[in-house]
A and B are shown apart, each in its own frame.
Chain A
Amino acid sequence: MPEPLVEMDGISKDFPGVQALADCHFDLYAGEVHALVGENGAGKSTLMKILAGVYRGDTGSIRLKGSPVAITSAGAAQRLGISMVHQELYLAPHLTVAQNIFLGREPRGRLPYVLDERILNDRAAELFEALHLHLDPRKRVSGLAVAQQQMVEIAKALSFKADVLIMDEPTAALTGIEIDELFRIIRQLRDRGVGVVHISHRLQELKQISDRVTVMRDGRYVSTLATADANIDQIISMMVGRTIFESAPELPEHPSTDVALEVRNLNRGRLIRDVSFQLHRGEILGIAGLVGAGRTEVARAVFGADQVDSGDIFVKGTKVRINSPTDAVKHGIGYLSEDRKQYGLALGLNLETNLVLAALRRFVGRLGWVRSGMTRAAADLQVRNLAIKTPSLKQIVRNLSGGTQQKVVVGKWLTAETDVLIFDEPTRGIDVGAKSEIYRLLNDLAHEGKAIIMISSELPEILRMSHRIIVMCEGRITGVLTAQEATQAKIMTFATQRASAA
C-alpha cells in the first residue's frame, strides 16, 4: 500500500466548556475522495480546520507525505498544499470574484507591490473555463447569489493547485445540477492525484462520490470503511451510536386549536415575501428551508428585531403592533437566536443574572433596587425546572456547556412568562447527548401549552419534533406539511422550489 498523503493521530481540541475532539484519527491517500460524516457537533469541521491551519490542536500529530508538520496558520497550510472550502462563506463582499480568488497571492506587475489586474482577471477566467463555470471575474461578490458565492469559494480552493482539498459541506447550498458539476470537478481532481476530503450531511452522496468513509461521533473517531462495502444504514447507526430519539418522548397527542400567534401577509423586501401562518397553543411548528430561505428573517420580524414593510401579527386573536423586541416581550413572545453566544446570553455574567434579565422589571423594588431575594428564587425555580447542571447560581455562563447554555436561554424566557417561543436552530453546536435533553424540553414546553416555532436545518430533527412543518424558499412559504405526511424528500422539494423555476 502506498504511503498516506495525510495522517492525523491523537488529535484533541478543547473549546471553553466543550471538548470538541478527543484522540481523533484520520488518514487520506493521494487520488482518493474520503468522505467524513457525523452528526452536527461530531467534530468533523473542527478536525479539518486543524488540518487547514484555522485552529491548532491541543494534542496529536499531523504527518504529510510521511514527515511530521506543524500547521500554524491558514497560510502555512496553503504553502503545504492543503486548501479548504469552508462551510461558512469566507469571501470579501466588496471585492470582485477574481480579487477574492487570488486574495493573498495577487499577480504582481513590473514594480514591486503593484498589482496587475489584467493578469488577475485572465487567470480567473482561465480557471473558470477549466472548471466549466460561468462566472464573471470582474463582478463584485456582494452581487452574487449564495450558490454562486459557494462556487467562487470552491474555485478559489481549487486554484491553489493543492495536493489536499478539504470541502466542508460544499453541496449544502447547491442544486442538483450544480452538485453534479461539482462532483465532476472532484473526480477530475481525484484522477489527477489530489486527495479530497468531502464533509457531508447528505449520506446519499457518499456512494456517488467517495472511495472511503470515516465516521465521527461526539468528537471521536468511530471507524473508516471502504464506501463500496458500506451501506447507508450501517453508517447511520455508527454516526448516531445510540438512538438519540428513543429517549425523547412522543409528541403530545394533539395541540389545542387555540391560535396563540397568527402572522398575515408579512413582507420585508426580498427577504420575506407574503408570509402567513398560524401557531396553536401546545404546538411545535417546524420551519424548514435551506440557508438563506428567510426563516431567521421571519422569526426576527415576528420578534420585532427587524422592521417589516407590511403585514399583521395577532396574539391570541388580537391584532398587535410589534415594532421592537420590547413590544414582543410585552406580548409574550420570546426569541432564542441561533447564535446564543452573541444574541442570547450575557456570557460574562452569572447564571442568576441571565435567568432574570428579560424580566428584570418584575424584580425591581420601589427605589429602583433589584430585589435579590426574588431574583434568586426565580432563578432557582428555573434551575430545578429545567434541570440546569451548574455548581451554583453564581456560575459565569461562559463556563457552562453548550447544551446548558441553551437551557439558560430557555429559562430566561420562561422567567419572562412568554407563551410563544421561537427557537432558531436550538441544537446547533450542542453535543449529541445534550440534544435529546433539548428535544425533551421542547416537548415538555409544548405539553404545558406553550406555542413553539422551531427553525432547523436538520431534517431528521424537524421531522421528529414538529406537529406541522412550514417549508420556505427565497422568502416565501412554498409548502406546509403535517407530521404524518412530511418526508425528507417532500421538504427538500419545497425547499428548492424557486419562484423563477415555477
Chain B
Amino acid sequence: MKQSGGTSSIARWGSLGGGEAIQRLLAFGALVLLIIFFSFWSPYFFNFDNLNNILIATSVVGVLALGETFVIVTGGIDLSIGTVMTVSSVMCATAVVRWGLPVPVSVLVGIGTGGLMGMINGVLIGRMKLPPFIATLGTLNVARGLSLVIAGLSPIYFPTDELHGLIMGSTIGVILPAFPIPNIVIIMLGGALLAGLILSKTVLGRYTYALGSNEEAARLSGINVVKWKIAVYALCGLFAGLGGVLLAARVNSAQPTLGFGYELDAISAVVIGGTSLAGGVGTILGTVIGAFIVKTLADGLQLVDVPQEWQIVATGVVVIFAVYLDIVRRRARQS
C-alpha cells in the first residue's frame, strides 16, 4: 500500500538530491567567478603560466584533500596530513640519498610512510577510541618532530633531477607543445579519479558513507567498524604520502619544516566542496573544485599585491567561512 507521506517524501528526497547538485554547481560557479574577478583585477592572472602555477599549487593540496575527504565523510577529521606529508617527503629523500635506493622504490617508501602514519591514526581512533581531533593533533606533532629528527634539522637535497623531472616534466607537452601541463597535475587528477571510484564504487567507499551516516547502524549490520576505520585513515595517509613525494619532487628536496598548515588548506577544500563535517555527505568532484578555489584565491591575492602576512589571515578566514557554510547547509537540510 502507498504511504500517506509518500508523495511529500519523494519531493523531499528530490530536493535533497538536487541540493547536493546545486551545492557542487555553486562551488563551481564560485570558482569561475573567482577566475573572472582576478582576471579583471590583475593583468598577470589569466595567462597560461599563471594558470599552470595554480594547477601545480593545487596538486599537492588537492592530493591531501582527496584522502581527507574519506576521513571527513566518516564524520572524523585528520589534522596530521600536513606534517605526515612532510615526514613522507623526508623518508622519500632519505631512501634516495642515504640508502641509495632507486627513485621508483623511494617513491613507494614515501607513500608507504604516509600509509603507515595513517594506519597509526586509524588504530588510535578505531581501536583505542581516541577522538579523531586529539589523536591526529598528536600525530601531527609526532610527524613534525620526526621530520626534523630524520632530516637532522636541515633539508635533504636530491643528487639528481630524476624525480623532479619525472613529476614536474610534461608528458602532455610532448604531444601538445602549446599546453605543457606538468605530470604532477595529471597525477593529482588521476588520483582524484581513483579516489572518486573508490568512494562511489567500492565496499570501502560504501562503508565510509555508512560510518559517517550512522556508525551504530553499520556496527549492527555486522560491519567490522574498527577495521574499516583503520582502512579509511590509512588511505588518507597514503594520499598524504603521495603528497609528500609530489612536494619533494617539486622542490627537488625534502624540507623538514615545509608542510605544517597544509592540512587547513586541505580541510577547507573538502568542506568548500560540499562535504559535511557531520559525516555521511561528500564527493571527490566537490573536493577537487574546493581545492582549486582555495589555491586560486591564494594565487590571486598574491598577484593583486596582498601582503604575505594578510594572505595567511585570509587562509584562516576561509577555513572559518567554509565550516560556517557547512553549518548553514546542514541546517537547511534539516528543515
Contact = CB atoms under 8 A, between A and B. Distances in A.
A177 interface: yes
A93 B206 CA distance: 13
A313 B219 CA distance: 43
Interface stretch (B1-9, B56-64, B106-114): B1-9
Given A92-B214, A92-B218, A95-B210, A269 B13 contact: no
Given A54-B220, A75-B223, A103-B218, A148 B213 contact: no
Interface of A: 54, 73-75, 78-79, 86, 90-95, 99-100, 103-106, 108-109, 113-115, 117, 134, 139-140, 142-145, 147-148, 177-178, 181, 269, 498, 500-501
Contacts of B217: 90-92, 100, 103
A143 B12 contact: yes
Contacts of B12: 143
Contacts of B328: none
A114 B9 contact: no
Taking chain B's interface residues, is the majority helix, strand, or loop, or is none over half, making it mixed? Answer: helix
Given A74-B220, A93-B214, A148 B5 contact: yes
B219 A74 contact: yes
Contacts of A148: 3, 5-6, 9
A104 B1 contact: no
Contacts of A115: 201-203, 205-206
A408 to B, nearest CB: 28
28 contacts: A74-B220, A74-B221, A75-B223, A78-B222, A92-B209, A92-B217, A93-B214, A94-B212, A95-B209, A95-B210, A100-B217, A103-B206, A103-B218, A103-B223, A104-B218, A113-B202, A114-B203, A115-B201, A115-B202, A117-B201, A139-B13, A142-B13, A143-B10, A143-B13, A144-B9, A145-B3, A148-B3, A177-B1
B4 A143 contact: no
B280 A93 contact: yes
B16 interface: yes
Given A92-B214, A94-B212, A113-B204, A140 B221 contact: no
B222 A105 contact: yes
> Which of A95, A99, A109, A117 lies at the interface centre, i.e. has the most chain B CB atoms within 10 A of its CB?
A95
Taking chain A's interface residues, is the majority helix, strand, or loop, or is none over half, making it mixed? Answer: loop
A90 to B, nearest CB: 4
Given A95-B213, A103-B218, A104-B218, A498 B4 contact: yes
B335 interface: yes
Contacts of A105: 221-222
B222 A73 contact: yes
A6 B5 CA distance: 39
Contacts of B6: 145, 148
Contacts of A142: 13, 16
Contact of A90 (B4, B206, B216): B216
> Which of B4, B6, B204, B221 lies at the interface centre, i.e. has the most chain A CB atoms within 10 A of its CB?
B221
Contact of A143 (B16, B202, B213, B218): B16
A432 to B, nearest CB: 28
Given A90-B214, A104-B222, 17 more contacts: A74-B219, A75-B223, A91-B214, A92-B217, A94-B213, A99-B210, A103-B210, A103-B217, A103-B223, A113-B204, A117-B201, A140-B17, A143-B10, A143-B12, A145-B3, A177-B1, A269-B335
